[in-house]
Amino acid sequence: MALLLLSLRPSPPRALPLRCLLLCRCSSASASTTSSNSLAPYHAAFAHRMSLAGIHPHHRIAVGVSGGPDSMALCVLAAAWKKEAERKFEEEASIVSRFVDGLLGVVVDHGLRPESSEEAQLVCNRVRGMGVQCEIAKCQWPDGRPQQGHVQEAAREMRYLFFLEQK
């Protein structure tokens, strides 16, 4: 079974096969003031977009999580979507699992700042606190740290390479 990558990034590199990406655009302006009781429309919209993309709760999914509001929201939506499907299955089979099955949060530690390892661990702990398995991918820069002005692009490429290797 292929691993699917959920991303909020608007434009993947051309080398990345589109079957590996599902681009979701979320508006956080109104979501930040939304109470937890009115999140149902967001969950429904997420489930609908996943269905339109041919992605179902039984698929294995990796979510890149930076710790920012967009990636955390995506992780919350993906976890809730999969948990709802699991809840229905568990009721029928009388099974209870600790982590959300088939959902992996991935935090990439680019190692570009001294505090990056500590920050990556903090984000990973938050994701695990949501019941989502999480791994930290530590970037190795074989050619040394990227040159100033190209750090963002090089870091993005490293993230994409990591996800492609997880198939």
Q: What is the DSSP letter of 135?
A: E
Residue 14 belongs to a domain: no
> Which range is least confidently modeled, 8-12, 40-44, 89-93, 134-138?
8-12
pLDDT digits (tens, 9 = 90+) for 14-73: 443 333 333 333 333 333 444 456 888 999 999 999 999 999 998 999 899 999 999 999
Please tell me the predicted confidence (pLDDT) of residue 101.
82
For residue 122, give Cα distances in angstroms to 65, 69, 108, 129. Answer: 11, 14, 12, 11
Please tell me the predicted confidence (pLDDT) of residue 13.
43
Residue 67 belongs to a domain: yes
Count of domains observed in the chain = 1
Which string of b and e fits 84-111 if b means at least 16 CB within 10 Å? ebbeeeeeeeeeeeeebbbbbbbbbbbb
pLDDT digits (tens, 9 = 90+) for 140-156: 888 887 877 788 888 88
Confidence check: pLDDT of 3 > 50: no
Residue 154 belongs to a domain: yes
Instruction: Report residue 45 as tokens.
Output: 């919209």
CATH of the domain at 45: 3.40.50.620
Q: Where are the beta strands (DSSP E) in the chain?
A: 3-7, 21-23, 60-64, 103-109, 133-138
Residue 29 belongs to a domain: no
Residue 122 confidence class, pLDDT cut points 50, 70, 90: very high
Residue 45 belongs to a domain: yes
Domain that holds residue 107: 39-165
Question: N- to C-terminal Cα distance for the chain?
Answer: 8
Residue 128 belongs to a domain: yes
Instruction: Report residue 9 as tokens.
Output: 């990034």
Residue 133 confidence class, pLDDT cut points 50, 70, 90: very high
Strand-pairing partners, residue 108, are: 137
Q: Which of 51, 54, 59, 50 is closest to 102 using CA atoms? A: 59
Residue 1 belongs to a domain: no
Residue 52 belongs to a domain: yes
